[in-house]
Amino acid sequence: MHRSRTPSVRSLLFAMQGSIIPVIWPRVLYTMLLSAAVVWIDYHVVSMKVGLNAAPLTLMGLTLAIFLGFRNTVAYQRWWEARTLWGELIIAMRNLARQAVTFLPGESAASREGMTSRLIAFTHALRHHLRGTDAVSEITTWIGDERERAGILATPNRPAAILSRTGAALGEAMRARHDDPILLAAMDRELGTLSHVLGGCERIHGTPIPYAYILLLHRTVHIYCFLLPFCLVGLMGWFTPLVVGVLAYTFFGLDALGDQIEDPFDLMPNDLPLDAYCATVERDLMTLRRQDQGDAH
């Protein structure tokens, strides 16, 4: 089902899918309950007017907004770079599969199928490599040769091992048939693109935003939202919980969204859909394989 790029007002206000609300609602509710308690105490027990006004709220909010803006910009750059790398991977996969079908007709069907299977296995292995999960099932499915599969599973960097084996198999096939070295160089460039994607994704995954910066930002957001009702109770009265809830939603939401997209390969709702990218590669390469088999018959 196609999702409109201009969502309705109703979906903007009430849609939960893709929203950060399921993550931050306990913190927002806590600040609103705290605000209600502060207002009740101010009206029924003792005045909470302790000299806090909008001035410190404004100064602290401005500083916090700058911090959040910088952090989320850095996090989004990481997310977008990762998306660009996976886009390059999909293009390189299609090019290699097309070249194998078009330029290597002299190779056996089993040899061409082995190449597409390794490419699909590489994509799944890269997804698991970035998420720290186990790729044994996918590698077992797509790498048929038992000795080759055992060698790949024994290495700590399985995507690199699959890529190395793919390059070696391609070189062996072309040397055996004395194919044009220009063609070999063209296909090797696509393998180099896959190696570039692997290294770029590892760099993003292995270089998080410094923890001290994240800790400072988290603490500042919580302190700011904790002080909000004490600064607003004298001006807003019983509207204080509502105003505090809106502000807390904004600041907690930006903070949590930065946490999610900082590591774009994770399984959080706003991270990259790596499973969908792998399914796209698998579908496209299997389509080319079926076409190749049909042409052979």
The verdict on residue 259 lying in a domain is no
In a domain, 185, yes or no: yes
**294 HSE (CA, 13 A, CB side):** 6
Q: Which of 42, 52, 44 lies closest to 226 in space, CA to CA?
A: 52
Residue 157 belongs to what domain range?
91-207+288-296
27-79 per-position pLDDT tens digit: 999 999 999 998 888 887 766 555 456 677 777 888 888 888 888 999 999 99
Dump the DSSP string for 71-86.
Answer: HHHHHHHHHHHHHHHH
Is residue 132 a part of any domain in this protein?
A: yes
Q: How far apart are CA 204 and CA 79, in angstroms?
A: 9
Coil, strand or helix at 47: coil
Residues of the chain with confidence (pLDDT) below 70:
1-18, 46-54, 104-109, 176-181, 292-297
Flag whether the pTM goes above 0.75: yes
pLDDT of residue 8: 65
The domain tally of the chain equals 1
Instruction: Say how far apart CA 48 and CA 85 lie, in whole Å.
Output: 54
82 occurs within a structural domain: no
